[in-house]
């Protein structure tokens, strides 16, 4: 299913006065809306243009967000059957694997965080679960790619500080090495849970349990199922950055649902309780009481969500979808929420920005906020989030089209020994650049440290935390810009 451009434009002209109309009782209607939004999303991508690098989004998008986008497109194909973007997705997912087939390509490795790597690994895991067409046998395979990243996370588990947990950054010379963040550990938890379910290998489930226990022990997930951003090792993770982001709640929800599906008996009951807790707290905290619309509270309220943050709500929608598939008891709760938000998202996809900002057809650009009409804030994050809200409403109750496992038709080939050691990567860095980076790293780490220390005195409200987050993000911008 692929639109030829003239038909596409005519169809849009005919309905350009209104927003994208969706009838949620009709799969065809949902698919048509999703295809319009997906087309606009794909037009942000330049990596398949001659001379450009497959897998990369143009500035200002960071590498990780491209991984998130291809993960979304893998699911887009699974739920809609539209294979228009499969070729470019396969090309991107394979081009970025790196020499060690672990999503640490040389161009990114030095500045890579565990979370950056994780979003690509989760895309590969989705490809395995969805039976996305397998690469030729001489190429890396989806399952083995996810296992490679899992194995590296295991190596990086750091018991020296805070009794465990993954640090945000992989290498010491990067700002954020002193910070254990919930999203990096969430990537570990999410991938480990899904590997357990896919392969039936209990080792993965044990690691997932260990990550969850560590987060609970340090109250990064508290007894009310608030999921906080992270903690610095400066005081052994005693002090938290209490900002809450939609994607942090979602990434654990998905992993918990995979473990709910995988386990039996009392373990299943435990994961059910956790799923219910996460959903209940997520609804309370992130969804507007009156309208039921999802709000990225920590920044949307202040109108200052950065590019990364503008994409987070889409992942919550993605992981609501996964929860409905893997833990069907959540369906009756989650589907109405998804539909409300998909309708709100579609309603505001009416923008006609200049081609320098949006290359989809006029009248189809999605803005960021779903609480009103088109807000003019266009980009990969807003477009991808609207697509996610729409495409996961295609999931059916007690669907038979659930993510596959090795026992239920999954065909991706794994390798339990995939991955490489970080020390080996370090020695491949050019020594001069390495020296410069270590020098620069101390300066930036000091700044990050003082910021994390400052949060001790600044935990009064989310605005202040947000200011700090912006600074940390700024650090990351500098880091990536080098
Ligand atoms: C890149 O991929 C998109 C989506 O499949 C396609 O429309 C476009 O023609 C491709 N561009 C090139 C140069 O291949
Ligand atoms: C790394 O960057 C070079 C130069 O821009 C590019 O040619 C190459 O394709 C990139 N490799 C990856 C894996 O992105
Ligand atoms: C759960 O029970 C089923 C059915 O008895 C069994 O096949 C499966 O191996 C069990 N799973 C685990 C993780 O013990
Ligand atoms: C299970 O996974 C662990 C961790 O990667 C691995 O060491 C072990 O060999 C796997 N077991 C089987 C039977 O594949």
Percent of the chain with pLDDT over 90: 81
- Closest C-alpha among 361, 345, 358, 374 to residue 13: 361
In angstroms, what CA-CA distances link 215 with 70, 113, 164, 196? 28, 19, 9, 19
Residue 98 — φ and ψ, nearest 5°? 85, 170
Q: What is the rounded (10 degree) CA torsion for 420, 422, 427, 430?
A: 110
* E strand spans, 17-104: none
Nearest ligand 2 atom, CA 98: 13
pLDDT digits (tens, 9 = 90+) for 16-25: 445 788 999 9
Per-residue model confidence (pLDDT) at position 420: 95
Q: What is the average pLDDT value for the chain, to the nearest integer?
A: 88
| Residue 71 · residue 389 · CB < 8 Å | no
Kindly give, in sequence order, each residue whose CB lies less than 8 Å from that of residue 307, ignoring residues fewer than 6 positions away. 60, 61, 62, 65, 379, 380, 381
What's this model's pTM, rounded to 2 decimal places? 0.88
- Closest C-alpha among 332, 334, 209, 338 to residue 271: 209
Q: How confident is the model at residue 450 (pLDDT cuts 50, 70, 90)?
A: very low
Q: 198-208 burial, b for 16+ CB within 10 Å, e for fewer? A: bbeeeebbebb
Per-residue model confidence (pLDDT) at position 433: 56
Residue 104 gets the label, from left (phi > 0), alpha (psi -120 to 50) or beta, of beta
107 Cα–ligand 2 center, Å? 6
pLDDT digits (tens, 9 = 90+) for 105-151: 999 988 899 999 999 999 999 999 999 999 999 999 999 999 999 99
For residue 365, list its beta bridge partners.
351
Kindly give, in sequence order, each residue whose CB lies less than 8 Å from that of residue 52, ignoring residues fewer than 6 positions away. 46
> What number is the average pLDDT over the span 391-417?
94
| Residue 118 · residue 184 · CB < 8 Å | yes
Min mean pLDDT across 215-229, 316-330, 427-441 is at 427-441
Per-residue model confidence (pLDDT) at position 110: 86
Per-residue model confidence (pLDDT) at position 425: 84
| Residue 367 · residue 300 · CB < 8 Å | no
473 pLDDT more than 70: no
Residue 84: CB within 6 Å of ligand 1?
Answer: yes
Q: At what angle do helices 27-42 and 331-347 cross, to 10 degrees?
A: 60
Q: In what order do the strands lie in the sheet with 230-232?
A: 179-181, 230-232, 240-241
| Residue 180 · residue 236 · CB < 8 Å | no
Residue nearest to atom 12 of ligand 3 (CA): 263
Topology at the third CATH level for domain 6-427: Glycosyltransferase (1.50.10)
Q: Among 49, 58, 97, 107, which residue has the most ligand 2 atoms within 8 Å of its CB, making it the best to mutate?
A: 107
Residue nearest to atom 6 of ligand 2 (CA): 53
Per-residue model confidence (pLDDT) at position 128: 98
Kindly give, in sequence order, each residue whose CB lies less than 8 Å from that of residue 438, ignoring residues fewer than 6 positions away. 172, 173
85 Cα–ligand 1 center, Å? 8
457 pLDDT more than 60: no
Q: How confident is the model at residue 15 (pLDDT cuts 50, 70, 90)?
A: very low
Nearest ligand 1 atom, CA 85: 5
Give the C-alpha separation, 347 to 366, whole Å. Answer: 9
Q: How confident is the model at residue 430 (pLDDT cuts 50, 70, 90)?
A: low
- What does DSSP assign to residue 330? G
| Residue 231 · residue 218 · CB < 8 Å | yes
Residue 264: CB within 6 Å of ligand 3?
Answer: yes
Per-residue model confidence (pLDDT) at position 237: 97
For residue 169, list its beta bridge partners.
113
443 pLDDT more than 70: no
Q: How confident is the model at residue 6 (pLDDT cuts 50, 70, 90)?
A: very low
Residue with the larger pLDDT of the pair 54 and 4: 54
Residue 48: CB within 6 Å of ligand 1?
Answer: yes
* Rounded to 5°, angle at Cα 322 from 320 and 326: 120
| Domain edges within the chain | 6-427
Residue 101 gets the label, from left (phi > 0), alpha (psi -120 to 50) or beta, of left
424 pLDDT more than 60: yes
Give the up-direction half-sphere exposure of residue 405: CA atoms within 13 A in the CB hemisphere. 17
* Rounded to 5°, angle at Cα 319 from 314 and 325: 135
Residue 107: CB within 6 Å of ligand 2?
Answer: yes
What distance separates the 2 farthest-apart alpha carbons in the chain?
Answer: 62
Per-residue model confidence (pLDDT) at position 431: 56
- Closest C-alpha among 345, 391, 400, 399 to residue 72: 391
Residue 43: CB within 6 Å of ligand 1?
Answer: no
Give the C-alpha separation, 327 to 138, whole Å. Answer: 36
Nearest ligand 1 atom, CA 49: 13
Nearest ligand 4 atom, CA 201: 1
Nearest ligand 2 atom, CA 97: 13
Residue 201: CB within 6 Å of ligand 4?
Answer: yes
């Amino acid at each position: 299913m692929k639109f030829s451009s003239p038909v596409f434009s005519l169809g849009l002209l005919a309905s350009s006065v209104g927003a994208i109309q969706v009838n949620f009782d009709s799969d065809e209607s949902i698919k048509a809306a999703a295809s319009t939004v997906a087309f606009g999303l794909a037009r942000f991508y330049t990596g398949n243009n001659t001379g450009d690098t497959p897998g990369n989004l143009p500035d200002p998008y960071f590498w990780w967000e491209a991984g998130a986008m291809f993960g979304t497109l893998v699911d887009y194909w699974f739920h809609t059957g539209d294979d228009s973007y499969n070729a470019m997705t396969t090309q991107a997912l394979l081009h970025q694997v790196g020499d060690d087939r672990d999503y640490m390509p040389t161009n990114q490795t030095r500045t890579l965080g565990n979370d950056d790597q994780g979003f690509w690994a989760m895309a590969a895991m989705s490809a395995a679960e969805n039976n996305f067409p397998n690469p030729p046998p001489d190429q890396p395979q989806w399952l083995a790619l996810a296992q490679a990243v899992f194995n590296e996370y295991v190596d990086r588990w750091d018991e020296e500080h805070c009794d465990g947990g993954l640090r945000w950054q992989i290498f010491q010379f990067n700002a954020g090495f002193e910070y254990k963040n919930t999203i990096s550990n969430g990537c570990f938890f999410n991938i480990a849970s899904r590997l357990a379910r896919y392969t039936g290998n209990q080792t993965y489930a044990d690691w997932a349990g260990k990550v969850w226990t560590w987060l609970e022990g340090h109250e990064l997930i508290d007894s009310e199922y608030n999921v906080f951003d992270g903690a610095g090792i400066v005081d052994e993770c005693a002090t938290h950055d209490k900002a809450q982001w939609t994607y942090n709640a979602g990434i654990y929800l998905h992993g918990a649902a995979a473990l709910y599906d995988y386990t039996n008996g009392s373990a299943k009951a435990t994961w059910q309780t956790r799923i219910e807790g996460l959903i209940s707290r997520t609804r309370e905290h992130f969804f507007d009481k009156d309208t039921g619309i999802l709000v990225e509270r920590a920044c949307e309220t202040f109108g200052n969500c950065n590019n990364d943050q503008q994409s987070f709500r889409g992942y919550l929608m993605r992981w609501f979808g996964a929860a409905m598939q893997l833990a069907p008891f959540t369906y009756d709760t989650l589907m109405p929420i998804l539909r409300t938000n998909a309708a709100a998202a579609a309603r505001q996809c009416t923008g006609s920005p200049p081609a320098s900002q949006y290359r989809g057809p006029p009248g189809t650009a999605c803005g960021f906020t779903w609480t009103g009409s088109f807000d003019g804030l266009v980009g990969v994050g807003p477009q991808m989030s609207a697509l996610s809200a729409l495409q996961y409403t295609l999931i059916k109750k007690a669907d038979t089209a659930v993510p596959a496992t090795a026992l239920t038709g999954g065909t991706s080939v794994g390798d339990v020994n995939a991955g490489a050691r970080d020390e080996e990567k370090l020695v491949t860095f050019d020594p001069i650049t390495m020296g410069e980076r270590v020098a620069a790293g101390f300066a930036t780490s000091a700044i990050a440290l003082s910021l994390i220390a400052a949060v001790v005195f600044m935990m009064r409200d989310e605005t202040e935390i947000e200011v700090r987050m912006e600074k940390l993000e700024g650090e990351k911008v500098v880091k990536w810009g080098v």
